[in-house]
Chains A and B, each alone.
Chain A
Amino acid sequence: MELLERFAAGDLEAFEALFRQHQKEVYAWTVRIVRDSGIAEDLTVETFWRIYRARQRFDPVAGNFRAWARRIATNAALDHLKRARRETELSEDFPAPAHSDSAVNSELRGHLRRAFLELPPKYRLVATLALIEDEPYNEIAGAAGISAALVKVRVFRAVRMLRKKLSSLGLEAAAK
């Protein structure tokens, strides 16, 4: 029996083989969304736990395990963003790079950072992947289970929300 078929039938060894094959990729995808290595590790385990529990729904013949795993990882990351909307900034362990800008720029960056972290989770998810990580819209769409057109709309709205927020703070440089 093929690996995917054995996995779908509940074979733990097959699941371990799939876990070892895909854990790095799932982690790399998740950490780009949540931007915290510890949380990304926990979410990688959570993702595979969800995969294991849903194994009977996976079609080993027609199914694409990689795409399925990425979609579940995206949902797990989104659930995390929803839960930890307020605490995310504190938990981020990839520090912002040091700048030697003026006080005004420093203030702008601080407000931009805060405004970005305060975006509603579904907007933050697509904005992070599209604007920061340069992921193509169709990749984001596949992972989030929405259309590429909706990804585009959400990125547009996220940019508008950020500009509006910065504008309301009197920070026109990035908001115009």
Chain B
Amino acid sequence: MSNEMNHHENEKELQELLKREFPPLQNAELQHDLWPQMLRRLDAHAEPARVPWFDWALAAAVAAMLFLFPNALPALLYQL
């Protein structure tokens, strides 16, 4: 019991010293709106545009066709 009281007193004393050295900041207020910073952060980490799977499939099909039938290249270029 006595030890506990002693510890409590010591803690209070140390607490007072700490408060003198590190004044409480309970009234610290934000000085400006942080939304512009937040927007920059969101923009910087924006997800890259996703390519749908069927676009990849189409590109693969065209590549395969050109590999198998190289003569089809002029026809393909004509269509473009």
Contact = CB atoms under 8 A, between A and B. Distances in A.
Contact of B20 (A28, A97, A134): A97
A70 interface: no
B34 A94 contact: no
A174 B13 contact: yes
Per DSSP, are chain B's interface residues mostly helix, strand or loop, or mixed? helix
Interface residues of A, number: 41
Interface of A: 12, 16, 19-20, 23-24, 27-28, 31-32, 35, 37, 40-41, 44-45, 48-49, 52, 94, 96-97, 99, 108-109, 112-113, 116, 127-128, 131-134, 155-156, 159, 162-163, 174, 176
A52 B25 CA distance: 27
Contacts of A116: 18, 21-22
Interface in B5-46: 7, 10-11, 13-15, 17-26, 28-31, 33-35, 37-38, 41-42, 45
Per DSSP, are chain A's interface residues mostly helix, strand or loop, or mixed? helix
B14 A133 contact: no
A94 B21 CA distance: 10
